[in-house]
Structure 1
Amino acid sequence: MRRLLLWVVAPLLALMLLVAGALAVLLGTQPGARWALDLGLDFVPGEVRYEALEGSLFSGIRLEGVHYQHPALELGLDRLEVALAWPALWQERSVRITRLLGDGLRLRLLAAADTAVDVDVDAGADADAPSPVLEEIPQSAEAAWETLGLQAPTGLKLPLPLRIAVDEARIRDLLLETADGPLLRLDALQLAGSAGAQHLDITHLEILASGNRVVLEAQIDTQLDVDLVIAAPRLSGLLPDVDGHLALALEIHGPLAEPQLRLRGQLRDLTRADLRLSGLFLDLDVGIDPQRPFAVDIRLDELVAGSALSVPSAHLQGIGLAEEHQLSLDVRSNQGDVSLRLTGGLASGPSWQGMVDRLDISQALAGDWTLREPAVLALNRVAARLEDLCLMQADARLCVMAQGTYTGEGMVRVDLDDYPLQPWAPDVELPEHVDDRISASAEIRRGDELIAQLNVEFLQQGTLSGRVALQPRLDGETELDGDLQLALDDLSVLALLVPDLRDTHGRLSGDLKLSGLLSRPELGGELQLQEGRMRIPEAGIEVTDIQLSLCQCEQNTLELTGSARSGEGELRLNGNLRLTPDGQLPISLQVQGENFELLRRPDIEAHVSPDLDLLIIGRRIIVNGSVDVPRALVALAQLPPQAVGVSRDEIIIDDDTEVADPLLIVARVRAGLGDDVRISGYGLDARLTGDLAIHESPGVPLRLFGEILVAEGRYKAYGQDLTVERGMVIFQGPPDNPGLNIRAFREVPAHNVTVGIELTGTAAEPRSRLFSSPPTSETDTLSLLVTGRPLSGAGEGDADALVQAIAVLGIERGGFITDRMGQELGLDEFRIDTGTDLESAALVMGRYLSPRLLLRYSVGLFDAVNTVMLQYALTRSLSLETASSSEAQSMDLIYRLER
């Protein structure tokens, strides 16, 4: 018997010693800790790596260079120390962390992804009991939830204690990032507390970040006791993209079913990108207990969001008890003002029942709207309802009714009656028979499918109705089914939509169908405009016989055809619009016509015969083809003799108006001038011909190639009539600096001579040269050209015209000519003083009255200012000069030093 007992006890003792040894190795050695850690990491989704491990499971382990990779996030940690109180596992059935220290934590959030961990609950109570998450009040909190289960990839299921306690946790240098950049940066985080199935106890949570401090203490079970304090004088140290000052204190106390919240705080000088907030002040004391006080005071000062929104002030106030209180909201902004008041209270359920008893809206274009009568508003934990909220503006009425659940089902209906459109276009005058009031109704329903309906009545003879239904499918796609009907017998409304149009007439009708999928919609049906007519005052034309048709002749393609007349010509339009999966909606157009009157204004008349192909994709426009101009008349306005031009140094400073994104135009167009293109003005009367190639590309200045010829023309200047023998303006790129090759002449029968001028070079640097046949001197050639007489026969009144011609035309050897003219006139000085620029040029004539006294007379060539000057030489280096004109008088003492 003893031997039998020995055979039984001995193996048991050996097994116990073996287990004890294994536990000692597992808990007390570094290899055991490494083996246990690697085994545990098999249950973690994603990839975990560490560079070094020290310590044991019994004394605590230290990891260096921890890296965790998962499709949803990346984590890096320079150092991590963890120590556990192992007796708590079997004594308290909890995980107790006595020490958790970390340095250099980097957490980067990526895209959302499904994890490989399945979490289930092993409840000691009835499995059919309702979940506290779904209950209004967690009455099942007394259920004995004990364990969570983690399902590892190997299929092994390990029961883990639900309760966890942390005696000390400190993490230094923590950075939270997203794919867009840094989100949160902390210097240190400290935590102590515990959590179980029925309670959460945060003994102390403290966050430090660049002088900012957040402290949280909370106990949550059947009672709520939460205290949160935030002191953030430098928000930029906590949130990298935000700056400002935040001070906040939050207290939540009371039963879990009826907590009371107290919140006080202020946010000052907040800036983030183009968002600026001067101040936000919070003071709330609210709760669910019907007999507890209800007080709300939230004030906002100076909110600016870019250039679109500016809110100087907003104020939300509430006062009363939870079961009976009043809320009022007043907002002032650049988009309009709103004043709202609600009265009501909390009821069982819980729910909120009340009335909207004041609503005033004021907006620059929409006008002033006032609530007609109080409207019922009701909210509970599953649904919301607003009954017949109606606003009035004179005879106009706007009513809204809505109801729905928080799961997405519901309905919204909007009715608008007798609303005038005239305030939106105050400068447009509508015909007397046209009523600008509009009435409309819209309804949106959402259940198994989303349905939207619209009905509009406007301008007495116009109607618009439509319906769209969206039906989700199991494969994630959404089916479309809709239609739109339009009938408008009076197009006067276009004058409201496009203020540059006047006297718009015609009939517009349409019946459109929408089908397919939301990702690939298909549009069918037809839209027609018939007997259209309109006047465009800016162009001075009236377009008649407008016919347009838009229909679906092929799948996913809309065909556009149309025609119009202006003057004696016609314009035709053909094109298509394709519905593509990427939503670009490319538009292809062909524009053709003959002798279409494009402009009829006092300064210009033009008829065009286009043959253009256009492709429009978003903001990109590609144009190819030609435009012939068979007939045009350009009448250049003649400036008054003493008109002052705009200085080249003048800079126009515009306001800060937002400029829309420019169109990206690629153009290759040939422009041809026909046989009846004339230009007149500034003494020129000419008929032009020629061809130009117009090239335009995004980011590249407009370029012109080709030449414009003067087929015949005359030029009148200085009382004389010149014939244009040859005229060529040559473009080789920049449109503002073409090459010049012009030759004009006149015959002088009295002297049997032909004189003229040749102009070459470029518009920026022209060169001119005089010629005569038979040859004469340069001075006589100029005099014959300008006055019809040689210089010896020119009178005193001709001098101004001669000098002005030299200044304007920039004639070669102009100085020699003026010297010769001075000799002929018997003057000691006869020159052109150009000053700083051509506009200040003046003709200066002078004669010595004595060896020391010089009399000068100056005449402005362009400003017509006459000046008399006297210069008296006191010594060889010192002189006294006086000047007198209609604009100023002066006296100067001048000292000259010659070197």
Structure 2
Amino acid sequence: MRKALYSVAGVFVLIMLILTTLLFSHSGNVFIWNQFSQRIDALNGELIDGQLMSGWTMKNLSWQDDSVYFYAETIRLSWQLSALLDKKLPIQLIEIEDSKLLLPSNNAEPSSPEDDSSASPLDIPLDITIEHIRINSFKFESSVATVDLGSLSTDAQLVQNKLTLNKSTIDQLHILIKDSEQTPTSNSSQPAADSPITLPPMHLPIPIQLGALHLTNGIYHQSSIKEEISKLHLSFNGDSSQINDIQLDIEHGMASASLKGSIDLSGNYPLNASLNARIHKPFLEKELHGALDGEHLTLTASGDLAQLQLSLDAQGPVTANLHGSVSPLVQDFPFDLILNWKDLNWPLTGTPSLISVNQGNLSLAGSLQGYDIQLNSGVEIPRQPPIHVQLQGAGDLNQLTVEQLLLKEPESHLTLQGHLNWKESIHWQGKTTLVDVNPGLWAPAIPGKLNGVIDSDFTLINNQWQVTIPTLKIKGKLREYPVNVSGKLMAKQASNNPIPIALTVDKLFVVVGKNTLSANGELADRWNMKAKLNATALTEIHPDLSGAVQGYFNITGNAQAPTIQYQLKSPQILFQQFNLTEFQAEGKITQDKQIHGQTQITLSELLTDDLQLNNLNIQASGSEQKHQMTLSAEGKPISGSVNMQGSWKNKQWQGQLSHAALNTPIETWSLEKPLRISVDQHLNAKLSGQCWVSGEARLCIDDTKLSDQKGSARFQLAQFNFKRLSPFLPSDTSWQSTLSAQGQVHWLDNEPSISLQLETTPGTLSSGELSFDYNQLKLLLNFQNQRLNSSLQFQSNQLGVANVNVAIDDIQSQRKLSGNLDLSKLRLDFLAPFIPDISSLDGALSAQAKLDGTLDKPRIYGDLLLNQGALTTNTDIASITDLTTRLKITGNKGVIDGHMMVGEGKLDIGGELDIGGELSWQDMPLSGNVTIKGDRIQFQYPGLLKVKVSPDLQFSLGKSMVLSGKVVIPWARIEIQDLPKSAIKVSDDAIIISNDSPEAEQDKAPFNMKIEVVLGDDIKLDAYGLTTNLEGRLLLTQETGHSLEGNGSIQLIEGRYRYLGQDLLIKEGNIIFSGPLKSPYLVIDAIRNPIMVVDDTLVGIKVSGTVTQPDWEVYSQPVMSHQEQLSYLLRGKGLEGGNNSALQSILLNVGINRFGGVVSTVGEAIGFSDVTLDTEGSGSDTQVTIGANIRPGLRLSYGAGVFTAISEVKIRYELMPKLYLQAVSGLAQAVDLFYQFKIEPTEN
């Protein structure tokens, strides 16, 4: 017995040892695995490491049967099986590498599982924790979809029947949905139309908490749809049918979105969710050009799928709100939606807007079986009247009834009613009514009122369409001329006709004023269409038109053999700048076996602003096999004649230009020999070589092939003499040289390439007495692969040397700039004739620089030097000599310094420049500082002003420019004989009608200014009887866009003033500025020269107040009456006891001075010049004299005595400047010779 027990125990121990060895050793596990894999055909793989207690590592594990194929290159499992005794299973690692799961396409669809809505929750007796789950390179493929997974990493905890996934990351997830044929669903499987859809309840077998799922680089691909998701974040809590705390964030190229909410997957799926999204530029970028970039959307949803409440708010380029409810579970999908918007524009961004939709709303209520639609909004189009739009309609899935579409503006409206059906075919039947519609609101040139009715019918069946207008009745007025349009129209598709339209016109009649157009007939199986035009007053059609035209147009025959005959005649037609005289066009075209006919267009004269053509004649005749055309015209600046012949054979046109001669401003050019041309049905053209000759000049083009896809042309120009350009050069300028050129133009798939070389022989450029020779002038251009290379070479022993190389890369987008500039002592003399008001110009310009940057923002590195510069003007305002300037440029910054002699004074220039912003021809904002310093530089205005100026100025450049500094005027001579017209003040009560105000603009400078002007001690003024020295200081200030203001004063020193014919000495003279320069304040005290007073009486005038409204008073010492004061002021003595002649002399002097200007104006108006009215002599010898220039250099004057009957006539002739011959006839006769000279003190 004991032995038996030992035996049993031994066997038990042996079995346990065997089981232990098999289960808990690697070799035992390998043995068991091999047994399984040998007995199960579908299973293959290799167990390379591990045992049951700690985990396994397998290689090339696969399972393959009729329903599934699975393969993994490596699987690693690591766990602690001993923890099962504590009802726990800790798993350290589940790792799968390079695996795939394939479901063959012949798999049967899985049977629908039994309804598990009432299934009990799972009860798992173990707590399972998985520290690491890693899947690398996994692929799933079925007949429906393909899923590629780059990597997945997560962890999991199943504790107390709750699954928790704390952090999961997925990278490189690609889902491809395959195209598949849809199997029609039998009607028996669909629920009844009036029964609601019942959703199956869904329950999670265990609670699930997804802490954070992060997806990067995801792609969803279905058919033509391919969406890339750069980032996705998902988290939720699920318990049974409740899914709470849903948080979904998605980053997509077109938009970013965030979803929050909860849902109950039972009953009608009640939910509460909110979605926030922001649209990015790529969204509909091709259609909207990125206009929705930045649009923000907020969507809220509440309720359940039986009745879901929705609200959508849009903010950004589109501001709108959609709210309402939908019922997805009801078969007809009931809905009640209202869309509101405010100020929608198209385009959505940018200006100007092509169309603006003002505040409005759109409502849809009903179901797919029947709904009502209402629209109410305003529409505005630039330069068009605002329109109010109202729509009322009803429809379903097959049709739409437009009860009324109303387009209304304040004084008129248009209504549309009709029915649109698309169930079996597209069919529209409607009626349009016009009520007082004014076309002038859209076309201002043709205002009026139109009323009428237009019935329309449209059908599209099997790609065959037909349009009928059974009623067309419109009446009204346009520009007060009566309008009447009536008739019937019908058009339908006719694929067998040469023109794929069959057209019927039934008594179409159009009347506008005295102009009529009638048409009647058909173009169907038989062609019989007649139209007649009788427009005797074109100006009644359009205000820019005038003249008359009559004609007819007849088509007869049939679609295969039609005959077209037409004629148009007009004595004159004027349209804007075009003027056509005696225009006539007539012809006849017939088709039987081939097209043949003739046409002729004649025109007596065609005038435009830049063109005049006379006797224009165009004739064409013949057939397809053989036809010819001639064109001839006389006129300016171009005229000529052309003869051409051709034929159409084998779907190709072949012809030749047998003769061509063109008279142009650069002489006559003729075709040397006939030019052969061929064009096939695909518009591919071939041209033989051609040469155009004009005297010794020749322009030749080699054989050329042209098409819309590719083409090339090579050309040469030889012996082109620049004398031909004389009409385009200044009258006294000539260019003696000949030009030769050669080049090639080539394009392929809209990608052009161009090469050009221009070169002249050594030549001479002359202007007046100036003449310049040059040895070389050559220009090279090459454009290929979006890169432009150019080179200019110039060499002259007199003018200098210039070499310029410029390249622009990627010319359509980046436009990168490179190149260099090399100028060596380039003379500026030759530019003088081309610069207005410049009589002579001199100087040598040298430069060495490199170009960089882009064409929009160029950068320059180098030096620009001007030496020996000199300039004189036609008006001799300034004479500039010894001009030397150096500009050193580094990128977009520059430093300038230099000096010049202006007259006898030296002017220094210096500073720094910073070129910023985008460079354009209209705007080049500069920033930096420029200093200008000078010493006694001379300016003059002949006959008016000579001045020497010493400036010390700083000019700050940038967004706000400031000119500041100091200007000292040490010496000046101002002599004004006549008041400039610009200085004559217009009366305050005068009204000037003008489109602009140039004087006001001249007062305003585009920069700030603060300059102190100091007058030196040698400033002399001689103007209008005033001779004086000037001294003082003036601070000139100005803000951008405002008028110039001054603060300071100018003193009149040692002044004398001839006033009322008398010599006054200025005791005190001050011109005070405090504000605008045009309103200074005067403080002046002037006395009569004591030498010219018979006694010791002192008499004078005090003036105070503004220039526009001065106050003046006469005073004297001793004090006396006002009459006595005036007598002393004007005569130097008293009234002498009431002497009437003295008083009359006083009044005469006052009158002459007050009204002399009126006499001058009247005299000049009747043809005399320099008309003056003055007094001469004193006392009883007082005369009134009037004089005028009756011819250049010849002056006539007449004097009449005031107190005597003696008169006097003087004739003065100017022999030469300042030398006069004068003859006097009066009480005595005399002939005198005068020479005028002036002694002026030398400058200190």
Change (3 A) 1:672 1:449: same
- Listed one character per residue, the Cα deviations across residues 210-264 of structure 1 (whole Å, up to 9, x for unaligned) are 545474867599xx96957463747789889877766565568999999987553
Corresponding position of 2:1021: 679
Q: How far is the alpha carbon of 1:103 from its aligned partner?
A: 1.3
- Listed one character per residue, the Cα deviations across residues 538-592 of structure 1 (whole Å, up to 9, x for unaligned) are 134332344566776325x788776543222225266455461787532437462
Greater Cα radius of gyration, structure 1 or 2: 2
Percent of paired sites with the same residue = 14
Q: Does 1:493 align with 2:830?
A: yes
1:538 aligned counterpart, secondary structure: coil
Using structure 2 for the length normalisation, give the TM-score. Answer: 0.45
Corresponding position of 2:631: 328
* Equivalence map 1:134-149=2 (5 Å): none
Change (3 A) 1:238 1:423: closer
- Listed one character per residue, the Cα deviations across residues 90-119 of structure 1 (whole Å, up to 9, x for unaligned) are xxxxx797x94531499x9xxxxxxxxxxx
Q: Does 1:163 align with 2:438?
A: no
Query: Conserved in 2, the CA contact under 8 Å of 1:377 and 1:385?
Result: yes
Corresponding position of 2:431: 102
Q: How far is the alpha carbon of 1:358 from its aligned partner?
A: 1.0
- Listed one character per residue, the Cα deviations across residues 823-861 of structure 1 (whole Å, up to 9, x for unaligned) are xxxxxxxxx9999999999999xxxxxxxxxxxx99468
Corresponding position of 1:566: 902
Give the partner amino acid of 2:938. Answer: E
Q: What is the CA–CA distance in structure 2 between the aligned matches of 1:795 and 1:478, rounded to whole Å? A: 94
Q: Does 1:282 align with 2:623?
A: no
Change (3 A) 1:266 1:724: same
Query: Conserved in 2, the CA contact under 8 Å of 1:213 and 1:232?
Result: yes
Q: Does 1:419 align with 2:758?
A: no
Query: Conserved in 2, the CA contact under 8 Å of 1:263 and 1:284?
Result: yes
Instruction: Select 1:64's aligned residue among 377, 400, 403.
Output: 403
Give the partner amino acid of 1:191. Answer: L
Change (3 A) 1:500 1:78: same
Q: What is the CA–CA distance in structure 2 between the aligned matches of 1:511 and 1:344, rounded to whole Å? A: 58
Instruction: Select 1:204's aligned residue among 490, 494, 504.
Output: 504
Which structure has the higher relative contact order (CA within 8 Å, separation 6+)? 1
Change (3 A) 1:639 1:558: closer
- Listed one character per residue, the Cα deviations across residues 635-662 of structure 1 (whole Å, up to 9, x for unaligned) are 435479xxxx99999x9x99x9xx9x98
Q: What is the CA–CA distance in structure 2 between the aligned matches of 1:61 and 1:232, rounded to whole Å? A: 44
- Listed one character per residue, the Cα deviations across residues 752-774 of structure 1 (whole Å, up to 9, x for unaligned) are 44433223344444443333344
Q: How far is the alpha carbon of 1:499 from its aligned partner?
A: 3.9
Corresponding position of 1:361: 664
- Listed one character per residue, the Cα deviations across residues 130-180 of structure 1 (whole Å, up to 9, x for unaligned) are xxxxxxxxxxxxxxxxxxxxxxxxxxxxx96133345665566699xxxxx
Query: Conserved in 2, the CA contact under 8 Å of 1:470 and 1:481?
Result: no
Change (3 A) 1:528 1:338: farther
Q: What is the CA–CA distance in structure 2 between the aligned matches of 1:837 and 1:734, rounded to whole Å? A: 32
Change (3 A) 1:771 1:436: farther
Instruction: Select 2:891's aligned residue among 544, 548, 554.
Output: 554
Q: What is the CA–CA distance in structure 1 between the aligned matches of 2:847 and 2:1134, rounded to whole Å? A: 78
Corresponding position of 2:642: 341
Q: Does 1:465 align with 2:779?
A: yes
* Equivalence map 1:247-646=2 (5 Å): 247=550, 249=552, 263-266=566-569, 280-284=583-587, 292-299=596-603, 301=605, 303-304=607-608, 308-309=609-610, 311=612, 313=614, 315-319=616-620, 321=622, 323=626, 325-330=628-633, 332=635, 336-346=637-647, 348=649, 349-355=652-658, 357-362=660-665, 368-371=667-670, 373=672, 376=675, 378=677, 380=679, 381-383=683-685, 385=687, 390=692, 392=694, 404-407=706-709, 409-410=711-712, 415=717, 417-420=720-723, 423-424=727-728, 426=730, 428=732, 439=739, 441=741, 445=745, 447=747, 448-451=751-754, 453=756, 455=758, 459=765, 460-461=773-774, 463=777, 465=779, 467=781, 469=783, 477=813, 479=815, 489-508=826-845, 520=856, 522=858, 524=860, 528=864, 530-531=866-867, 532-547=869-884, 553-554=890-891, 564-567=900-903, 568-572=905-909, 575=913, 577-578=915-916, 580=918, 584-588=922-926, 590=930, 592-594=932-934, 595-599=936-940, 601-608=942-949, 609=951, 611=953, 613=955, 624-625=963-964, 628=967, 630-631=969-970, 633-638=972-977
1:345 aligned counterpart, secondary structure: strand
Instruction: Select 1:713's aligned residue among 1055, 1060, 1066.
Output: 1055
2:1090 aligned counterpart, secondary structure: strand
1:103 aligned counterpart, secondary structure: strand
Query: Conserved in 1, the CA contact under 8 Å of 2:1029 and 2:1052?
Result: yes
Q: Does 1:78 align with 2:419?
A: no
Q: What is the CA–CA distance in structure 1 between the aligned matches of 2:842 and 2:561, rounded to whole Å? A: 67
Give the partner amino acid of 1:192. Answer: M
Instruction: Select 1:688's aligned residue among 1014, 1030, 1033.
Output: 1030
Q: What is the CA–CA distance in structure 1 between the aligned matches of 2:972 and 2:575, rounded to whole Å? A: 57
Q: What is the CA–CA distance in structure 2 between the aligned matches of 1:396 and 1:161, rounded to whole Å? A: 64
Query: Conserved in 1, the CA contact under 8 Å of 2:597 and 2:621?
Result: yes
Q: What is the CA–CA distance in structure 1 between the aligned matches of 2:1019 and 2:590, rounded to whole Å? A: 84
Change (3 A) 1:696 1:388: farther
Give the partner amino acid of 2:392. Answer: E
Q: What is the CA–CA distance in structure 2 between the aligned matches of 1:600 and 1:492, rounded to whole Å? A: 24
Query: Conserved in 2, the CA contact under 8 Å of 1:358 and 1:374?
Result: no
Corresponding position of 2:221: none
Q: CA RMSD in A?
A: 6.5
Change (3 A) 1:49 1:630: closer
Give the partner amino acid of 2:1027. Answer: D
Q: Does 1:231 align with 2:529?
A: no
Instruction: Select 1:666's aligned residue among 977, 997, 1006.
Output: 1006
2:918 aligned counterpart, secondary structure: coil
Q: How far is the alpha carbon of 1:188 from its aligned partner?
A: 6.1
Q: What is the CA–CA distance in structure 2 between the aligned matches of 1:683 and 1:103, rounded to whole Å? A: 83
Q: Does 1:744 align with 2:1086?
A: yes
Give the partner amino acid of 1:79. Answer: Q
Change (3 A) 1:255 1:194: closer
Q: What is the CA–CA distance in structure 1 between the aligned matches of 2:646 and 2:553, rounded to whole Å? A: 23
Give the partner amino acid of 1:419. Answer: F
Give the partner amino acid of 2:568. Answer: G
Give the partner amino acid of 1:628. Answer: V
Q: How far is the alpha carbon of 1:387 from its aligned partner?
A: 5.5
Corresponding position of 2:131: none
Q: What is the CA–CA distance in structure 2 between the aligned matches of 1:838 and 1:368, rounded to whole Å? A: 52
* Length, aligned pairs only: 707
- Listed one character per residue, the Cα deviations across residues 684-741 of structure 1 (whole Å, up to 9, x for unaligned) are 332223326365977x877666543324433467997543222233456666664432
Give the partner amino acid of 1:565. Answer: M
Q: How far is the alpha carbon of 1:38 from its aligned partner?
A: 8.9
Give the partner amino acid of 1:327. Answer: T
Give the partner amino acid of 1:636. Answer: E
Q: What is the CA–CA distance in structure 2 between the aligned matches of 1:291 and 1:527, rounded to whole Å? A: 71
Q: What is the CA–CA distance in structure 2 between the aligned matches of 1:598 and 1:833, rounded to whole Å? A: 33
Gaps of 5+ in 2: 1-185, 193-366, 373-388, 408-412, 440-459, 477-482, 766-772, 787-808, 1163-1171, 1177-1181, 1189-1196, 1210-1244
2:831 aligned counterpart, secondary structure: helix
2:1150 aligned counterpart, secondary structure: helix
* Equivalence map 1:810-829=2 (5 Å): none
Give the partner amino acid of 2:1103. Answer: L
Q: How far is the alpha carbon of 1:202 from its aligned partner?
A: 1.8
Q: What is the CA–CA distance in structure 1 between the aligned matches of 2:925 and 2:759, rounded to whole Å? A: 29
Corresponding position of 2:313: none
Q: What is the CA–CA distance in structure 2 between the aligned matches of 1:833 and 1:548, rounded to whole Å? A: 52
Q: What is the CA–CA distance in structure 1 between the aligned matches of 2:568 and 2:520, rounded to whole Å? A: 15
Q: What is the CA–CA distance in structure 1 between the aligned matches of 2:528 and 2:886, rounded to whole Å? A: 68
1:350 aligned counterpart, secondary structure: strand
